[in-house]
Structure 1
């Protein structure tokens, strides 16, 4: 059952990415802040509902115990989701998701000095695959004056190395948040409540900025019902994905669950080609995304 739940989580995270890409307008940057706020509000509501159903009203822990989760939530999903959605807008969902999925490799590097963990040969191989995959995505960018028939490569048209840094920074923040969560779980073991707290901290960071942004408010007022519905759907799917992942971890092991969850970039790639109604014609793109997914899985199975 844990394998099926892990695949459900992967599907949910992939669907979130595609839904946000559907709702965003490349002509209006204020949509990214609105999308982040709406998805965070929805996923936070989903997670606290699950907490209420499964735990009832949880006993309030000491505030000091929650600090790592609050700080982690500011990093991810607060700032990292903003960067991820910006990456979707600049690079398309397939590439942005592939780069963000590199976070376990970054986390392995951070865990060495922070948690005193050893860096193994398998982790080194995983990091190497991730680096090769991200570098490969830069090399397969089509020229702006060339008609490219591949759906994923078309998303990269006009992208710059600076654009690739946007989701890369999101991956760093996501990895740092996981390290903080691991530190926090030493003092508070309820991962479901901890995640809901982190989501709430992210919402409290982003929501005031969105409410104070005239552009974001105007975007919500003039956005189409389809766009707003896509963001709300993304919030539901990402909240469901987190819950499915926790259930999978409760029933199975980290070694089997997390690598399966990290396959969500492949869901995005398949969805991108399906939406374009065309088969893949760029094996280098698929190889680059697959290298990132395999590298992330290699790091997590150690």
Structure 2
């Protein structure tokens, strides 16, 4: 459990560093734009590529492929619940897409992988990546579509779910990195050391730059404004109660091995995706709400971890 806490404290330290450097006037709005572009267009695509090529083999992937049914269905059911919850609690239309995406999608790699390694060890890695594949596919297709729909800025083009719109989503840098990595692994193409090392260096930029952006926006928003409103509470409820309960209930119908189920429960109850504030800013969505909620999902997770560990054990 101590290692799990330390993993989260590292994330907090990076957020605090972004906050402190903003206070010292090192970072400003131009810095956010720069870091956002670096993460979305360079660091994250290489990160996704490496996750698929380094942590999976073709044989392992094909053997575990049927295990994707549970996380896939659970994410879709959670998404449906998020829509109903948003309608019942009257979430403003200006943050509906952000709300549903944060309610549904987990932080499956930057938080999920180290937490599962701390709890279960290396045996959990394939199962972590199965959930990651389903979660990533949802986030970078349906999630992006929803977030873009929150914008009231006429200069921002909403993503369309027609053939052209879907192609644009699939050819976005993040999804392209994911798809290329998946095909590379399935075709069993040889790895090139020079390319791998280059990719790894860029991939390592993803988490610190994303956390810096959150720290900068928190500074600009003001710590005193980090308050839980009904919509933030709804996302916390979705992340830490509704999502894992759906996984548990579905496991009575969709049978999976015990260790796989435990990892899926942990993965389903992670903080929101750390790219959310960057995407909200890119699509001119509700950045203040997104950043505040993102920060609070990290804070609340400190108290959720002991409950999760007790539950899965």
TM-score interval, normalised by the smaller of the two chains: 0.3 to 0.5
Q: Structure 2-normalised TM-score?
A: 0.31
The structure, 1 or 2, with the larger RCO (C-alpha pairs under 8 Å, 6+ apart) is: 1
Q: Structure 1-normalised TM-score?
A: 0.32
